[in-house]
Each structure stands twice: as C-alpha cells, then as structure tokens.
Amino acid sequence: MTPASQKRITPPSPRVFVVDDDPLVCKLICGVLEDAGYSCEAFSCAQAFLDALDISAAGCVLLDNRMPNITGPELQSILIERGCRLPIIFLSGEVDVRTAVNVLQRGAVDLIEKPCEPCVLIESVQRAVARDAAQRAEELELDDLRKRRSEMTPREIEVADLLAIGNSNRQTALALGLSERTVEIHRGRIMSKMRCDSIVNFGVQWLKLQSALKSTGDQKIAY
C-alpha cells in the first residue's frame, strides 16, 4: 500500500495571528487578509498572544518587530522554546539589517516594511501558510512511519536497514548470518508492516524515517 492510499486526516484550518501594539495596524491587516479569504485573530501585545497560544494551531504569525515589554524577536525566541512551529512574518516600520538577518536565520518567512502593499502582504501570508501545511504533512507522514517501525522486531529492523541501502537478500543473509529463505520471510513481513508495494518505495520511506530519527536522536524505539 502506497502513502497515497493511506487514510487521510483532515488538517486544521489555517489562521493568521496578528500581533501588533497598534490597533489600527491590526484592523487594517486583518481587513486585507479577511478580504483575501483568511481567518484572522489580532493581539495587542506578545503576552496576550502567548496566553492564548495553542501550539497545535495551523497558519502563521504576523509579528510587529518593535513592541513594549516583549519585542518581536523576543517572542520568536519564546515560540521556538515552546516548540511552536507556526511560520512567522515580521512587520517593521524601520528595518534594521542586524535584526532582519537574525530573525530570518532563525526561521522567519519574511520581514516586511510598514506600510506595505496589500498584494505584498497577501503573497507573504500565502507562502507562510503553504510552508506550515507542508511541515504538518511531513510530520504526519513521519509519525505514521514511526508507528509502522514500532511494529517491527529488532531482527526485522536489522534486515530492513540493509535492504533499504540496496543489499540483495543474499547479501543481507551473509551480513547477518541468516539463510536467504529467512531473509525472504523477514522481507515479506517488513513490506507488509511498512505497507509498501515495492522495494524502491520501501527504501525511500525507510531512509526518510532513519534520517528523521537520526536528527532527533530517537533511534531507539520500544518494541
């Protein structure tokens, strides 16, 4: 069974969270984006946004660079620490090069100078929402692959590691001290548990999963 035939999960509807201490700016931005079909929610300060934050929310954040108490870059740091992956678009009346480089290096989608043309704002939000949707789709796929891997025995994982990098049944059998017939049996079970209809599809999915596990240090999974 290929990934395309998996049961589809309806993703959450995206929202645009506008954080700016100027109520007029919030009103104007929300008006432009709502006219473009987006659902918006405005906050007058960073703390108000943090108090209402749901890190599972989908969409993006439009964030004023300079705000009292908690600045835009400071809020970005807090969101990163909390594990919130909502893409951020910074809004700034004065673009400081050092700040711009810093927030973009830390993952911001864009930094827009105020005032800006509605089309510029909408295009930036489109990119941010698209990035968020792509990230969520990838996370769902990886979560599903992790669950499939957790159903496998330690021996099946050893066999899978070798098959995924192009080893034949014979090569895998020699490497693990098994018979080719035993490897064939393991291979059939692996393909069934991973729901893959070809060794090529299995290899792509397995290596993608191994890369994700390596990056998170989560290679040891309970069986």
pLDDT digits (tens, 9 = 90+) for 115-143: 889 999 999 999 999 999 999 888 889 99
Give the structural domain span for 97.
15-141
Tokens of 154: 């330690």
- What CATH number should be reported for the domain holding residue 110? 3.40.50.2300
Distance CA 187, CA 100 (A): 51
Confidence band of 114 (pLDDT split at 50, 70, 90): confident
Distance CA 156, CA 200 (A): 17
Instruction: Say if residue 185 is in the same domain as residue 90.
Output: no
Task: Compute how many other C-beta atoms are within 10 angstroms of the C-beta atom of residue 4.
Answer: 6
Question: Model pTM?
Answer: 0.73
122, 141, 160 - which closes a domain = 141
Among the residue ranges 9-13, 51-55, 122-126, 199-203, the one predicted with the least confidence is 9-13
pLDDT digits (tens, 9 = 90+) for 71-93: 999 999 999 999 898 999 999 87
Structural domain includes residue 8? no
Distance CA 86, CA 88 (A): 6
Position 97 scores a pLDDT of 81
Instruction: Say if residue 64 is in the same domain as residue 162.
Output: no
Instruction: Say if residue 63 is in the same domain as residue 124.
Output: yes
Distance CA 189, CA 173 (A): 16
Q: What's the 3-state SS for the chain?
A: CCHHHCCCCCCCCCEEEEECCCHHHHHHHHHHHHHCCCEEEEECCHHHHHHHCCCCCCEEEEEECCCCCCCHHHHHHHHHHCCCCCCEEEEECCCCHHHHHHHHHCCCCEEEECCCCHHHHHHHHHHHHHHHHHHHHHHHHHHHHHHHHHCCCHHHHHHHHHHHCCCCHHHHHHHHCCCHHHHHHHHHHHHHHCCCCCHHHHHHHHHHHHHHHHHHCCCCCCC
